[in-house]
Structure 1
Amino acid sequence: MTPEDLLTLLVGHRERLADGLPDAEDRQEVAAALRELHEAVTTGRSASPAVRRLRRALSALPPEHPVSEALRSRRYAADGAGDRPAPAPDAVGTVLNLLEARGPGTAPESGARKAVQPGPDPADLLAAARERLLSVPALSGPEHAQLLDSQGELPALIRLADPRPGASGSRCPRFQFLPGTLQPLAVVLRVNSLLRADVDPWGAADWWLGGNSWLHGVPADLLGTVPDEELEGAALELVESD
């Protein structure tokens, strides 16, 4: 499934897309991902990061939703490179307008189309998402220093730059370690490598700490309770391994 196919899928299920996202934050994240995708394709940049963000946002849909079922059954290309065309700006705009025009429980459109009101500022949504990720338990300063002394940088670990007043350095979420130790979990390192945590630590953290319909829970909360292979398989579904 190419990025264009993904948008076609969303248009085809437009009447149920908003209904599958009753939480306003989830709906806004899908809209923000679509805006990022629209900007990428209109400026000629790679669509890959925006499509990955959209795929993560769509994981908030319930597993029985037709979009979730289609995404589980077919892989799609995460970039517009080679013979896989990037989605057309008009297609992105169509899905975004349909999503923002209707909230959950809204009756299907009929007759004249209502004007779409501007959505939340993507910068505000990004700031709120980063604040949420920075609020999770993380290593203390001395623990982080001890980790660096004993194991080095370990690029596969998620480290989030903390810009908040009074903060220093970066935060290393604690879920990545064996409880009570500074020993990184092998499955976390493997999944983080798949998610390119060294390049996009925020995206990797969002995958671990957000709801995932394929896993029926939050991946970080499922560590040690579901097979490692299932976590890796869910990550592979996102990054599209050819």
Structure 2
Amino acid sequence: MERPAWAPRSIDISVPSVSRMYDYYLGGSHNFEVDREAARRAMEFMPGLPKVMQANRAFMRRAVRFAAGEGITQFLDIGSGIPTFGSVHEVAQAAVPDARVMYVDHDPVAVAHSQAVLEGNDGADVLAADLRKPQEILESPGVRRLIDLDRPVGLLLVAILHFVEDADDPYAAVAELRQALAPGSMLVLTHAAYEGIPLPAERAEGRWTCTRRLATR
């Protein structure tokens, strides 16, 4: 398989990546056949998955535009995946050219791809960190360099919390992040749900467990 220029040498492109599968669902180009095959298998259980992902991304774009219109010029996107195909920095910097965006993901594949995509963009960067450890995110040099926590921030937790087990207390993690934000900040959050999925509950649960393990390994 020929490696394109945007694919870091450190990444095994023969193994499917959840981040690249998401890119495929969005209609992006940062994915490989191994990702597309894995994505098609997931669609056997949830045929509407691409539309769900596309609707989620469309909401995120609207939310970022709204926040920028309200004067927010810095964004912290946790669980960002690969920032391609209409991602936060594209939307924010189109509205406010000097907007700053810090992406955060704990998946090394997503982080490596993000570094390649963001090369040359001084207003956007990526941090390898875990939502379940919010203090490490807030105190990281990268976040401190790009994000002024004394000013309003757009905090994005888009399609990430459903990957966090209840035992890891996602409520506490979100609360800690919110408490660190200045007045006037905005929280943008989406969460998957079983409602409307035309599958027996046990089958949906089996597929969700499989996807969650792949995403959080």
Q: Same fold (TM over 0.5)?
A: no
Structure with larger RCO (C-alpha < 8 A, sep 6+): 1
Q: TM (normalized to structure 1)?
A: 0.25
Name which one, 1 or 2, has greater alpha-carbon Rg.
1
Q: Going by fraction, where is helix more abundant, 1 or 2?
A: 1
Q: Going by fraction, where is strand more abundant, 1 or 2?
A: 2
Q: TM (normalized to structure 2)?
A: 0.27
